[in-house]
Structure 1
Amino acid sequence: MLRALIVAATGAVGAVAAMRGLYATALLAALIAVWIAALDLIDTRPRPPLPPPLATVSDRDEERRRLNAYLDLSPAPLVALDDGRLHVVNRAARRLLGASDFVVEPPEGLVAALADTRPGRTATIEIGHDGDVRSFALATGDLALAGRMTRIGALIDIDAELKAAEAAALRELVQVLSHEIVNALTPIASLAETAVAMLDDPEPALPRVRDAIETVARRAASLHRFGESYRALAKLPAPSVERISLAGFVSDLAALFTTRWPTITFTTDLLDAPAYLLADPDQLTAALWAVLQNAAEALHDLPNARVTLTISAFVGQTQFTMTDTGPGIPAVDQADIFRPFFTTKTEGTGVGLALARQIFRGHNGDLGLAHSLPGRTRFEGTIPSVLSN
């Protein structure tokens, strides 16, 4: 605008100068006008963007249809309370309340619950009739629409959520049971086959056969009790703590391990161990076996494979240390190894270590990965050495 004013002014000056015979002044004014006009033509400074065109009616309709499609994807029924009138917002709400927009006969208590439940809070309401009554959790929020506030409510089917949680818990229970039963039966079957093979010798070593059969009997009985507890309570039972002779307990573990993995060297260090443990023998066997099995599977086909179980007595607690000479656990996986169903094995279920930690914590102790490097992976578990009140 400033340049236009200057051009106009120089034009006027030039015209007056020409009428009065001041041709030099007129020529100078014309040159100034041409120069300013040329500057305007070659100006390359960025221009402010033009305002976007106003949305047309068809554009607004398309946006509304897109928004409605997004809302219809929500599985939770969405409703709106506007001036005391209840409206359905998405397909799930239309199906639940049997309305296309305005709900003529809202379920009893729904309008009051929407009005009284502040945003950020939840309420519970029952919706249905006859024998089909379902419980819903109501969550609300406020939106400013067309200059006034509208209360929006989302209805979450509590019954459906509970059924889904029960189904997930049942699947987890079945997987845990199958995992532990199969893993416990494998060494038992192997030890039984060894005992049969020893009986086929011309001069069988009967004491060794007896030891093998007695170990099989104890472990089978232990597995039976463990399975019965799961079946009766549908969860890991509270440990039945008793006084356990450490020597016999470790001897059974060693016999099971060396029978299952004869090519892996299994050693125990009991120099600082207590004479007795206070624990549930069945659960503690399952927990230690899960860690030892993971170590053995990591050592598969490796030369000089070794697994060591060290038990030490400390003030107020007993510590179990399990080390192996395997390749180690990748750093990216170390934070997840105790997460249920996390596994890097092709046929793994990911419940062994999760169950082992749960058992240790059920004894008021804990189980964790101390460190893992190539050639040395170390797990540490603790349980109290005295009975808690």
Structure 2
Amino acid sequence: MVSNRALDPRGLGAIAAAAGLIAAGAVIVWALRHGFYGTTLFASLSAVWLTTLLWWNASEPRNAAIVAPAAGDEDREEEGVMLRMLLDQAPGALLAVEGTRVRALNRAARSLFATDDLVLPAPAALLSDDVARLRHDGRSWRIDRVAVQGSAAPRTLVALIDVEAAEHAAEARATRDLLRVLGHEVMNAMAPIASLAETALAVMAVPERRDRLLPEILGTLARRADGLRRFSEAYRQVARLPEPTLAPVPVADLFADLARLFDAQWQGGARLDIADPGDLIAPLDRGQIVQAMLALLNNGVEAALASDPPPLVRLSATASTDRLTFHVADDGPGVDAVHRASIFLPFFTTKADGNGIGLAAARQVAQGHGGDVILRAGRPTTFDLSVPL
């Protein structure tokens, strides 16, 4: 009985420290995304402390508690209390899975599943190592797992990350960016229109100036109004993208479509090198993905126009267990570091005749499929469009 009592706090400390590491990691990711750098620092220091505690707990001889049970038990009990307090403050739900039993480890988990200990009934998604998402209480949660080594029975620590909260935060940032750019563009268009209208009213009162200046003023007004109309059409292209209709699509057929459309658009003025995708098949909205990929290919051609003609763009695809990724690479000069954070904003462009729609629309299509578009670091300039399989 003495040895069992001495060993219990040690195992509890290891489990609590591992769960605390998961919580600290979740807090660090959440704080970095939202710019809470003080919280990030605190969580990082907590992670370092917990890692040190785990190392000390693993490296200490197992019979130390038996040799000196009195002092060791007291210290470990205090550590256990501190770790349980830290777990309770973690914003994400933490659980322990042992066979078919699921236990809530902290306050967030107890509140989410309305339990003091066991989660009944145990959600099937938590019991299967192959499931990465949990739908519970009307929300979507990502499941992060860590297997506990050295326990008598298989045991897994689980952290639930609120996916919808992260998505809502990303949508809010995107909306703010869109409204900022939209306001800037509309003001740029309306200011000269208002000024020209005032000038037209002024020259109407002076006959000798009216006949000479009015046609020029009205022509400029018409051109500015047409520019505002084209901007509005581009805005609708981004704002009204329908939900994707998914169907199995062989990637080889998709690449054949892109090759024909590319040749029809550039008519020998640019080259497209396509790597054989093999027999890859993915659930896609074929029309939307073709639109997004053409935008990336055209962006690559326009970027590579500065190189030796004709510009060359390379298209390939790779697949992992759960994702399909399209790669579009060009030999252009690359994206300036100061612009990397803005290239996916609607209407942002560094081209004299660009409208800033292509990359934004491509990312919106990818995100509608549950994926994303990213710009890789380094050369050649490569955009990756990924979608779930």
Instruction: Give the alignment's TM-score, normalised by structure 1.
Output: 0.43
**Which structure is higher in strand share?**
1
**Which structure is higher in helix share?**
2
Structure number, greater radius of gyration: 1
Instruction: Give the alignment's TM-score, normalised by structure 2.
Output: 0.43
